[in-house]
A and B are shown apart, each in its own frame.
Chain A
Amino acid sequence: MNTGSPLSGINLLQRVTMGFKRGLFKKKRRKLPERTREDLGILVFENTSEVIQAERILKAQGWKVRVMGPPPGIQSGCDLVIEIPLIEELHLWRLLDQEGIPPLEMVPVTAPLLKPVDLFHVKDFGDYLMVRAANMKLTVEKKSLVIVNVSGGGCPDVPYLARMMVGKPLGEAARPNTMGHTLCGYALELALQEMERQCLQ
């Protein structure tokens, strides 16, 4: 009898082979429940400086927030947003408002967010060490731990930050997360953090 099943008329061997190809006989791995997007929201800010400040404040208070790129539908704000647990919206909003950097809006996450570059390249020049994060490079003299050069980037705060940082030792130099205003500044902060991890820990 023809059941109408697409597999009717196919012998057992063929079924087994097809099943194998489909992975039906693979050992099933138990997946840990992933955090659903539905419980995440993003805080949108007027400019990148505010995002950098807000991240610093929230992380200093122990909040596990992430800086991400906005989804395409967001028309206001800048090129960075802060991903937060949706349930904490009111609390975090109030906290940032008290600090003088209220977000423009909070939007539930419904589409994938752009992830910042998380690749670091470290290059050893002998007496000097260079770290690259995204498009920014930071170089330190190993012996003195003095920042000797900053390169890369294309936003106008890069030459400004370079002027503030070059010639200063790690730990004493101005930080891009307090003095920077753009994505390049944020990338330079990541390079600085990685350099500190390499040299100070």
Chain B
Amino acid sequence: MLAIVGTVPDQAFPLVSGRVTLEKEDLSIEGKSVSVNRGTPALLAAVVKACEVLGDQGVTGFLVGDIGLGNGSRKLYRYLTENLPAMAVHTMAFHYLQPDVDWHNKIVFAVEAMEQKPVMIADAGFMYAAKMSGQAGFYDLFTPDAGELAFLADETAPHPFYTRGFILHDNNTVEDLIHRAYHHENGASYLLVKGMADHVANAGGVIATVDAPAVAAMEAMGGTGDTLTGIATALVGTGMAIPRAAKLAAKTNRLAGFYADPTPATQIIDVIREIPRALAQVLNEDDTK
């Protein structure tokens, strides 16, 4: 099972778990329909679209409604701590959840109780909690954007909102921030840093950089980071080594953006639509097999 854990921006949406499919351009899970905008629905849609090329991976969503009050997230955290130990999951991505260190740590204990630890991917609010808890090393891949990388690099910041100015300063290169994040033990085994150029890194430094095609408008679009994490998750789910999966995901996301020919007003579904075409091309051209 490839599992995606996150929230839906609808307070009334119940806690559901089950196989996820795309019906036209809405997600379908346990008979419920979720519109694909930004956030976890965009990540899930990217995974499903990538699997059109990669093959079925039993994409399973663990979703709950939460509009920022945290009650939905806590319900989902509780469900996972009670049920994860008995599950068989090969790849697991945690996404838009209310950052909560206590619940994060309970999730870590639950994962440790599983028969086999999944490949662990974290982004968004759950990545914030993972860093705050001091357990970044438990994860195989974090997918921060440039601002979130500065947060990982700032050993005192409990949230990107408090990243200190001298760390956010433009004079700090991505390489500097990656080094600093690992120095303070706030990096997962691998980082996929999204930005003007995407960087794949580990504690040794930058492994790969992807900067083409460059589509400037994607910076303003909500959801482009979510789709990148989704494509990377789908590739990792096939058993591909994380550095290669991260690099190919970065190429695919950029190419899908290029094919969507966006303006800063374009919505993410236009990029998601192009993922199969872009991924097929990237895999076809890949010479690092």
Contact = CB atoms under 8 A, between A and B. Distances in A.
A162 B125 contact: no
A135 B67 contact: no
Given A69-B162, A151-B222, A160 B68 contact: yes
Contacts, number: 160
A130 interface: yes
Contact of B220 (A47, A128, A180): A128
Interface string B144-163: 01011001000011111111
Contacts of A182: 68, 98
A77 to B, nearest CB: 13
B127 interface: yes
Nearest to B160: A135
A160 B9 CA distance: 5
Interface string A45-85: 00111000000000000000000010000000001000000
B4 to A, nearest CB: 14
Contact of B124 (A114, A139, A154): A154
B72 A183 contact: no
Nearest to B98: A156
A149 B161 contact: no
Interface in B222-266: 222-225, 263-265
B124 A118 contact: no
Contacts of B112: none
A183 B159 contact: yes
Interface residues of B, number: 54
Contact of A150 (B99, B128, B216, B222): B222
Contacts of A127: 263-264
Interface in A162-186: 162-163, 166, 180-186
B67 A125 contact: no
A106 to B, nearest CB: 21
A119 interface: yes
A159 B158 CA distance: 21
B219 A130 contact: yes
Contacts of B265: 128, 139, 141, 148-149
A134 interface: yes
Given A148-B264, A156-B72, A159-B37, A116 B162 contact: yes
Nearest to B221: A149
A201 to B, nearest CB: 22
B39 A158 contact: yes
B220 A160 contact: no
Nearest to B156: A114
A89 interface: no
A199 B9 CA distance: 29
A149 B222 contact: yes
A157 interface: yes
B274 interface: no
B147 A134 contact: yes
A117 interface: yes
Contact of A134 (B160, B222, B223): B160
A154 B222 contact: no
A185 B69 CA distance: 11
Interface string A134-148: 110101010000001
B96 A154 contact: yes
B151 A135 contact: yes
Contact of B158 (A48, A69, A128, A130): A69
Contacts of B7: 156, 159
B70 interface: yes
Given A159-B37, A184-B125, 10 more contacts: A132-B147, A137-B219, A150-B222, A151-B221, A154-B125, A159-B7, A159-B9, A162-B38, A163-B9, A185-B68
16 contacts: A48-B68, A128-B264, A134-B160, A135-B145, A135-B151, A135-B161, A151-B224, A152-B225, A154-B125, A155-B124, A156-B72, A157-B67, A159-B37, A166-B222, A181-B68, A183-B159
Interface of B: 7-10, 37-41, 66-70, 72-73, 96-99, 123-128, 145, 147-148, 151, 156-165, 168, 216-217, 219-225, 263-265, 267
